Structures are given as structure tokens and as C-alpha cells.
Amino acid sequence: MRKLWRFLVTVVVVLGVLMGIARAIALRAWRVPDNDPYLEASISPTLRGGDLILLWRWSPPHTGDLVLCPEPKRPDRVVIGRIAAVEEETIEVNGATVTLNGHRVQVDDACYEGKFTSRDPETHIPVEQRCEIEELGTRLHQRGDVTDTPPEKVTLGPLERGQIFLLSDNRQYPYDSREFGPVDRTTCKETVVFRLVSAAGFGDVASRLTFLH
């Protein structure tokens, strides 16, 4: 019995050390701000303000990854966007539609729930939007479609060395490179990978303990 307890204690200690190392160099828990209406609108339907998420920082992010970066024009704020284009690539965003290097990015199907509600950051009025599944890089992810007058079409590129184009998952309410331009890739070191609990708490079964793409 003593040997068994010694073994169990050793396992617990080793796991604790490994988790501590992972938290120090690879993972960080972070809660999405719930007091920034522009950020909150731009990240729906993938995330909501108040969500507790895990950020991965062991390896650099790639096209299609959702990343956390400082806002280039206001480093005191953060932006969460998807890497849609990298150096030497040309991107066009027209409403909800993305064209990368002359090829339209594929939209596979509607999301499981079909629709979601986001809050207009200017009027704070809830707006119902269509949710679709888009393929960007190797990632299939949710995006919010345009329900009203679309944002102005933007064409940019070829991007310079070390630059990336960040794109909001919500195309109606962008907070991305269409507003602040290309981003220095070295500033985007953390990838959004997992949601521990949603803003609604652990009782929100549909949103807790979910991988994010």
C-alpha cells in the first residue's frame, strides 16, 4: 500500500510540474474582455465577451489561425483576428467574401445552428446574422455573414515581408486589417485554441470545453 501511495504522489507531482511548465512557456488562460463592444462584435459567432479561453504560444500561428495581437494603432488594446493572408499574398475582402491571390475562399455550408445574434457596437441593438462555415488555410471556421450595408471593399497586397492580414470572423462588424492595415507578424504570438467556459458559465454545456478553429 505504501508503494502505491508513493507512486500516486509521484504521478501527481510530475503532472503538476508538467502543467506548470506548460503554463509558463506554452499555454495561457485569458478572459475575453466584455467591455469592448467593437471587439465583441468582431469575434462573434466564434467567441463572446467574457469567454475564458486558452492561448497557445509554443509555435507560431499560420494562415487560418485565430490569433491575439496588440492593435497596431493603439497598443493598449488587443484585437482577435484570423490570419487571412501573409507576405507576398494579395487579398480582397468584399462584404463577407474573401478572395486570396485571385481565388475565392470556399464557403462550405451553414453552421449547425444557422443563425446567431450579435450586438451592433454603435447602437447596441441585437442583430440577427447568418452563420456559415468558411475554409481558410487548413481551418474550417464559423463566420458571420453581412446582413446590412456591407463594409467597403478592400484590396491589399502583395503584403510586404513579415506582414499578415487579420480578418474578423464577423464580416458585418470588422475590427481588423481593413481598419488598421497589415500587422507585423512578430506581434501575434498567441493562437486561440480552446474555450474552457463561456461567458454564461460552466452550465453552458454547448460552449464549454470546446476546441476553437
pLDDT given for residue 64 in this prediction = 96
Question: What pLDDT, on the 0 to 100 scale, is given for residue 112?
Answer: 84
Given this model, what pLDDT does residue 75 score? Answer: 84
For residue 82, which amino acid is it? R
pLDDT for 109? 84
Name the fold adopted by 18-211: Umud Fragment, subunit A (2.10.109)
C-alpha–C-alpha distance, residues 103 and 84, integer Å:
13
Say what the pLDDT of residue 20 is: 44
The pLDDT value recorded for residue 172 is: 94
For the chain, domain boundaries: 18-211
pLDDT at 15: 37
Q: What is the pLDDT of residue 12?
A: 38
**Measured distance CA(106)–CA(140) in Å, rounded:** 10
How confident is the prediction along the chain (213 residues), in pLDDT tens digits per residue? 655 454 444 433 333 333 444 455 689 999 999 999 999 999 999 999 999 999 999 999 999 999 999 999 888 899 999 999 999 999 999 999 999 999 999 998 889 889 999 999 999 999 999 999 999 988 899 999 998 787 889 998 899 999 999 999 999 999 999 999 999 999 999 999 999 999 889 888 888 999 997
